[in-house]
């Protein structure tokens, strides 16, 4: 199932090129604050699923192209991320001795999340440039700590495309990756049962139509199950938590006016415009 957030906090299921509104079946108030509706939907998904499927069957739906898709989980408890998780990217960054296998994870502000209809807004930072990082987002389905490798897949709700936009420079990593809009996620969450085996999934990213990054999930240093083990060894995972699983080689600069497209087989694809921020005036 492909579950989206759209038109101001509504919950929808995407089938083909149409989206079906299942907000009521999920018990979600689109106007709620904070916007937790997708998280409560994920947490109770097994119980909600029959009602969602019933409403889905009764709905004519809307063309996906006619709605504004939003970042699926705007208010997660945590946005975790793996560094240097493909050997070829580790080499291109000159960090041959460091990878996610021994460096663990870092955190990116969940306030950086943006959606498939949003632009990435680059701030004015003299002497700094900004890179795209093509990543698979792992969406956690239920709470867990110290999760065993054999159990890890039971804790995954689904997957989405994620661009870990990064300012290169000497500042703290968490700040360089946490500007507002620096984490496009979407276009929806595709549930793990629909995605099926992940090893052969290929992630791709283009800038202005030119392919820049491409690799299968199987080339990750820390695999999907291992990422659940690694993160949950430290912190209790919660439904709706997002793990950015790291990028492959081919990262490079993006500038205002660019268009970045990310696609992951069986998961989805989205195209994000890059714009310049308004100058700060004080
Ligand atoms: Mn990254």
Q: Give residue 128's pLDDT.
A: 95
Task: Note the pTM of the prediction, 2 decimals.
Answer: 0.95
For domain 73-276, give the CATH number.
3.90.850.10
Give 248 Cα–ligand 1 centroid separation in angstroms. 9
pLDDT in tens, the chain (282 residues): 999 999 999 999 999 999 999 999 999 999 999 999 999 999 999 999 999 999 999 999 999 999 999 999 999 999 999 998 887 766 677 666 555 567 899 999 999 999 999 999 999 999 999 999 999 999 999 999 999 999 999 999 999 999 999 999 999 999 999 999 999 999 999 999 999 999 999 999 999 999 999 999 999 999 999 999 999 999 999 999 999 999 999 999 999 999 999 999 999 999 999 999 987 776
Q: Give residue 13's pLDDT.
A: 98
Measured between alpha carbons, how far is 187 from 71 in angstroms, rounded to an integer? 7
Give 106 Cα–ligand 1 centroid separation in angstroms. 9
Tell me if the bond preceding 34 is cis, omega within 30° of 0: yes
Tokens of 156: 């995954």
Q: At a CB cut-off of 8 Å and minimum separation 6, what does 30 contact?
A: 7, 8, 9, 10, 23, 37
Question: In the chain, what are the domain boundaries?
Answer: 2-69, 73-276
Three-state DSSP class for residue 73 = coil
pLDDT digits (tens, 9 = 90+) for 150-179: 999 999 999 999 999 999 999 999 999 999
Give 183 Cα–ligand 1 centroid separation in angstroms. 10
Give 136 Cα–ligand 1 centroid separation in angstroms. 10
Closest by Cα among 246, 255, 275, 229 to 83:
246
Q: At a CB cut-off of 8 Å and minimum separation 6, what does 198 contact?
A: 136, 159, 217, 224
* DSSP H helix total and E strand total for the chain: 7, 20
> Going by DSSP bridges, is the β-strand pair 210-216/202-207 parallel, antiparallel, or unpaired?
antiparallel
Closest by Cα among 114, 69, 144 to 275:
114
Give 128 Cα–ligand 1 centroid separation in angstroms. 17
Q: Give residue 101's pLDDT.
A: 65
Q: At a CB cut-off of 8 Å and minimum separation 6, what does 97 contact?
A: none
Q: Give residue 89's pLDDT.
A: 63
């Amino acid at each position: 199932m492909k579950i989206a957030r759209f038109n101001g906090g509504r919950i929808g299921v995407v089938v083909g090129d149409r989206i079906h509104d299942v907000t009521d079946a999920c018990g979600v108030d689109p106007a709620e604050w904070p916007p937790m509706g997708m998280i409560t939907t994920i947490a109770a998904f097994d119980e909600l699923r029959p009602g969602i499927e019933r409403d889905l069957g009764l709905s004519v739906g809307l063309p996906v192209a006619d709605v504004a898709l939003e970042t699926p989980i705007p208010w997660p408890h945590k946005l975790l991320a793996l560094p240097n998780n493909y050997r070829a990217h580790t080499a291109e960054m000159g960090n041959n001795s460091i990878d996610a296998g021994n460096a663990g994870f870092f955190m990116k502000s969940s306030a950086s999340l943006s959606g498939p209809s949003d632009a990435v807004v680059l701030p004015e930072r003299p002497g700094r440039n900004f890179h795209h990082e093509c990543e698979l987002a792992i969406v956690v389905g239920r709470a867990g700590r110290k999760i065993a490798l054999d159990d890890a897949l039971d804790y995954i709700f689904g997957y989405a495309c994620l661009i870990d936009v990064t300012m290169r420079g000497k500042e703290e990593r968490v700040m360089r990756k946490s500007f507002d809009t620096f984490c496009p996620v979407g276009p929806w969450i595709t549930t793990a049962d629909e995605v099926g085996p992940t090893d052969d999934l290929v992630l791709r990213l283009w800038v202005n139509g030119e392919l820049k990054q491409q690799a299968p999930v199987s080339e990750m240093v820390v695999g999907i199950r291992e990422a659940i083990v690694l993160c949950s060894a430290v912190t209790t995972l919660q439904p709706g938590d997002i793990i950015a699983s790291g990028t492959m080689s081919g990262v490079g600069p993006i500038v205002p006016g660019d268009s970045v497209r990310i696609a992951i087989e069986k998961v989805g694809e989205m195209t994000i415009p890059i714009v310049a921020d308004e100058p700060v005036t004080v």
